[in-house]
Amino acid sequence: MINLLRSKVSIIILIVTLLFLLIPENVLAGGVSVSARSAILMEQETGRVLYEKEAYTQRRIASITKIMTAILAIESGKMNNKVEVSSRAAGTEGSSLYLKSGEEITLENLVYGLMLRSGNDAAVAIAEEVGGSLEGFVSLMNSKAEEIGMNRTVFANPHGLDDHEKHYSTAYDMALLTKYAMDNEVYRIISSTEVHKAPNENEKWDYVWRNKNKLVTGLYSDSTGGKTGYTKRAKRTLVSTAERDGMSLIAVTLNAPSDWNDHIAMFNWGYENYELTKLAQKGFLDEVKKAPYKGRIKLHRDLVYPLTESEKKEVKSSIRLATPPEGSKWDDPNAFEDPIGIYKVSLDDKIVVKAPLTYESEAEESRGLWRFLKNLFSFDSKRDLYG
């Protein structure tokens, strides 16, 4: 009887253990389950990581590489340039716009084809135009990655094909890149476009490119853009962005068998659990009561941070202010240099937001008013003189 009881207990323990093993990784700890080997959910404005799974592990990234290619093209100032497609670009393997050697197309249209249809031929044509050569463009890619803080990323080509061993990034780094790119209005427009037409000088019909990103084309109503990717070695990769109730999120998955569902699950979990919360409003700080600071200390931007309901009760703010050198006058704008202080917001004893504070003296206000009146008078005088 005892042995039988022990056997039943052992079977129950085995069943429970198996059930726990069948639960997808991170579902218990993170509140969201993803199929990807690496994943991240980041709030766009502040860069706060809301969820991550092996987000700092270096992996192949496939065509989400083209986010870097696109933003460098946009920032080049050459979007209206006509680009002559080289034989090297036209012969690039993989997904293609089917460009022909010698045809001319604007850089802007190449970027649309790059982002919507993932044209590898477009990537090489862009690289040669913006970087002078494919190799020169790769150097620009790595320089920009260093500038952004993508410390675990190496680019070897502008398209993401598996033609180099040293071409990789991390989910975190790709989220940083997307955060940077989404600050550019032109990138946001292109990334969120569903269909784009471009002239085709070799045919009677125009190019028509439809976005491969199913989240953009109807699968997720809050979608604002992104980029798909796939190679045999990288498997499915995806970057996507979304916005709801004033909060913008960035999701990245690397090697994800079910990437559409992964992104929807992360977005929904993020919006259900976090709210972009205003912690301080820009302008003069009413909470500073002590003279001579009172009514003079100014914050120049709203301070916001994504918080859960429980975290809202835990955040703490503090203000640190300097004093001018002894014997100086508070209303002398040259008495000290701005910023005079700093506004800090902490959560779990870690500073999550900080911003400089300035002291607005009466002398500065008077000087500003005098400058305004002087400019107004000068403008009126010139108008009378030359009008």
Question: What CATH number has the domain bearing residue 37?
Answer: 3.40.710.10
Query: Which of these is catalytic: 33, 38, 63, 169?
Result: 63
User: What's the CATH number where 354 sits?
Assistant: 2.30.140.30
Q: How far apart are CA 34 and CA 207, in angstroms?
A: 36
The pLDDT, as a whole number, for residue 290 is 86
Q: Are 124 and 201 found together in one domain?
A: yes
Q: How many domains does the chain have?
A: 2
What 3-state DSSP class applies to 98?
coil
- Known catalytic residue at 100: no
Query: Which of these is catalytic: 118, 223, 240, 361?
Result: 118
Query: Is 40 contained in some domain?
Result: yes
- Known catalytic residue at 118: yes
Is the pLDDT score of 325 beyond 80? no
For the segment 95-109, the average pLDDT, to the nearest whole number, is: 97
Q: Are 197 and 305 found together in one domain?
A: no
Nearest to 164 by CA among 195, 134, 121, 199: 134
Is the Cα torsion angle 372, 373, 378, 380 positive or negative in sign? positive
- Any idea what the Cα angle at residue 50 is, between residues 31 and 219, rounded to 5°? 75
The pLDDT, as a whole number, for residue 31 is 74
Cα 112 to the chain's mean position, in Å? 19
The pLDDT, as a whole number, for residue 322 is 86
The pLDDT, as a whole number, for residue 366 is 45
Q: Are 42 and 75 found together in one domain?
A: yes
Domain around 324: 277-365
Q: Are 200 and 223 found together in one domain?
A: yes
Radius of gyration (C-alpha) of the chain in whole angstroms: 27
Q: Are 222 and 101 found together in one domain?
A: yes
Q: Are 346 and 260 found together in one domain?
A: no
Residue 68's CB is within 10 A of a number of other CB atoms, namely: 28
pTM of the model: 0.84
Query: Is 10 contained in some domain?
Result: no
Q: What is the mean pLDDT of the chain?
A: 87
The pLDDT, as a whole number, for residue 369 is 45
Query: Which of these is catalytic: 66, 179, 212, 298?
Result: 66
Q: 109: buried, middle or exposed (CB in 10 Å: 19+, 13-18, 0-12)?
A: buried
Q: Are 190 and 331 found together in one domain?
A: no
Q: 106: buried, middle or exposed (CB in 10 Å: 19+, 13-18, 0-12)?
A: middle
Is the pLDDT score of 25 beyond 50? no
What 3-state DSSP class applies to 316?
strand
- Known catalytic residue at 214: no
Q: Are 264 and 357 found together in one domain?
A: no
What 3-state DSSP class applies to 318?
strand
